[in-house]
Amino acid sequence: MIEQKLIVGRYLELNTPVPVNARPAANGFQEVTRQILHISKSSSKSAPMAPNNPMAGFNPTFKQKMEIGFQRAGQHVQSQMDRQRTSNVGTGHSPKVHRNFAWLEWLPGVVSEVRPNGVDILTGPMSGCWITTYLRNGVRYVGHVGTDMTPTTPNSIAARTAWNNYARDAQIGAFSGFNPFNDPWTNGAMPAALPGESNRKTFALVTTEGHFYTVIAYPQASQPTRIRIAGIQRNNPSLPIRGQI
């Protein structure tokens, strides 16, 4: 239910925890310990205004002073209308269950996995990895197939091989998945960056119901852990029926 809190226009202070292995890797799958996080109640402040830096030696007339004053007043009103709502991400459960989630870290060369156990799973940023949900030994997992940006690197080959070996031997219907970075964005135009933001980040969300979401966010250039949720869309499963990637 955390998709209800990933509100477009909301800022998150996203400090993700260092992954802790639950047990040694086996057959290319690395289970990590589930670490519960939550989105805290948001606070708000007015959006930043453009700096008021007159040119050196500028001596405005009375009329120009009036025009500048009206312009700044308009900018002030706009900054109040465009208030930034920011939520911190804290550790542990929140009593409001729709604020809770678990973070799944990308681990190169393996399928990093976590047992959701009734909690939504967020992972990223994405650069082309597949995100999967599957049954293995009777246990439900969410997995992040840890490929590199280039498909021919040893890490990419090892991670895909681990997943493909599992899918080859699993029953059809025991797994599903999507590729949030490469699957088409169909929710209108791709959300754009705002001034003061750095390159787009793509995150993946797997809900407790098994629904897949792509989350588009932009970090603040001056504060990279603060991201603005720019867009979110639900995706259909796109993993091939035999699971081979």
Reported as a single tens digit per residue, the pLDDT across 14-31 is 989 999 999 999 999 999
How far apart are alpha carbons 152 and 196 in whole angstroms? 35
Q: What is the model's pLDDT at position 67? A: 66
pLDDT tens, position by position, 171-223: 989 999 999 999 999 999 999 999 999 999 999 999 999 999 999 999 999 99
Give all strands (DSSP E) within the chain, no chain letters.
11-13, 29-31, 36-39, 43-45, 84-91, 100-104, 111-114, 120-123, 131-136, 139-145, 175-178, 201-206, 212-220, 223-235
Q: Name the band, by pLDDT with cuts 50, 70 and 90, for residue 4.
A: confident
pLDDT tens, position by position, 75-134: 444 433 335 789 999 999 888 888 899 999 999 999 999 999 999 999 999 999 999 999
Tokens of 13: 């202070």
Per the listing, tokens 């310990």 go with: 33
